[in-house]
Structure 1
């Protein structure tokens, strides 16, 4: 029985990145061997075990055989005769198919280290096409490594296109699409995820509401990039810059302008009312991908309210209070910061305007803090009851915001 460090830990060490998680493959063993050594079994589809001291994952070397469509259409073989190279061959990308033995020696039968040097995302074998999740994974790795100059190999992109045209990606379950989307939104360049999926035609298949934004013009004086799809790419990258690794803000940024794809052509490049027309496609996308409730709710609120946030310095105090009330922020104060960061990402996610100021966020933070200071007890102490307490609180909150509001908006 021999164990090897595999996958991301080896890749990240070669890239000079911090190694967060370490995964191991065990060659020449049966499940009983690991159970006798007090490893804890955790794998559902194939034998994976947790080390009794470190808690790290140890998987038996395996091969897989396609038995049906989609992610679950595989049969696995974990016989002790399966070799390390057999196990590495089933992996997605060459940069993830490198192993390291106990002496630190690399086992790299598919040229992963060479592809790291060449900044290339390349599939290991034709078996890549058997698992549709790999289309999303390659796009996600593109988002992770775009800033380093990595690109998808031409042959791999061709294979991804074939997987889309054959209908293989149509068998992806919503939960897996959403999981990969969330992960992509935590990467440094989420726009590369969108571009990779668009390059292989998967964006239109999996996220038609987002794909529909490409080619839709906007007013150049507000959006020098003009194209709504390009704007969306800039916004998700700005969200990643403002709130690194925050998929909630990334999701709000990704879908905030879906209404622009529905603007009648005779109204272009204006998009009057897009903040309202975008609610329905966001709801459809949320439902189809089974997006978690808080992501779904805040995404729709950002869509509905982002234009008000942009004009916050000109709004009447009562309208500003209305933003907070629609966010349900007095009960959910945790929504304020994600909302403001998503709005700032939208405002700064424009060609040449990346370094522009967004004083609206500072004002809205201060306005909410002032309004939140108003409580019910003073009005109860004055003898008010029922709805009168709420009315008095609202009036006091408006006054608190008015004290901070620029005179031009009063």
Structure 2
């Protein structure tokens, strides 16, 4: 028997990234902390943080209180006014940003952040090309989807001109035939240098990178790689944009993932974890190199809801909770003391686990049919019957009360940064059990 909520959804809601007739969405009634419940009362441990955005968990009381308090004072105001929530959110974000990045342009989400960062880079440099990697996702608006490297880009092409894709480092499946992580980093930098040379450095406005690649594999860059990209950009007058929409605000055990390598970009794109999506918010953080370019000339961009008071109040409440409760440090500890060691054990016990990798509460398990050949459990961009092994694994997780985040042949371990050690171990135990389903497809 279906509920009226489900029936109304199927009649009237058009869902993203989906063939509408194939959908059977779960009706969620409530959520708290690291869990949510469907309409039958069944509990799911959220190992996805929804779309890797609920960094502070569900229904955090300090964020809810901040939204309620703001709603009683000022629910909306045009972006050309100043207001307390927006000013304080910008100050707090800037206080945790690396280097001299101290000014914030607010957007409604990550895709708009990417769009505006690219626009800023082109205007500041008076160049038009943007270099970004094949294994990347930067959003689904008209420009950001073309900046994206992965297959979701294809249906939107042709799109904005001037976007050039290149290979980033991926030691497990090295496009450079590297023999070590160090060699992968060196060859990836040499490849980027060659792409810049072949495209014409004087035509390149920016290199756009996910600091740690998110949906496309939790690809942690080799030590020295980001510093090398920074040096290449400086050499040629190119701006470095780091997309921290998914990797920022505690996800990698740092306020921003760039802090892990002490690299300072020219622009940072953020969203998701800034207030865990309690009210939509994103933005671009910039330093004087970019901000000063618009001191006397107008910036030709804007949004009606830029710096929305309710969204900014949620960000203020979230950031203060992060500071007061040591959430960034907790996330770092979970990665080093629990997730990393426990996933290493899973890799030993399950032949279908080809590799585990990550930082903080941002980890991937890469599933394979053969460890020797590294054949993926399902083909790249698999759909339909080809994706059956991953569908079976996902079903096994959900049957056991775990909601996973998966992409292609990977399952990601990306629970809220606030998850307890006991909850985390509960989820990892379910993963351990569900991986026996993946093992059943192993042929090596």
TM-score of the aligned structures, taking structure 1 as reference length: 0.23
Q: Indicate the structure (1 or 2) with the bigger Cα radius of gyration.
A: 1
Higher relative contact order (CA 8 A, sep 6+): 2
Between Structure 1 and Structure 2, the one with more strand by share is 2
Between Structure 1 and Structure 2, the one with more helix by share is 1
TM-score of the aligned structures, taking structure 2 as reference length: 0.22
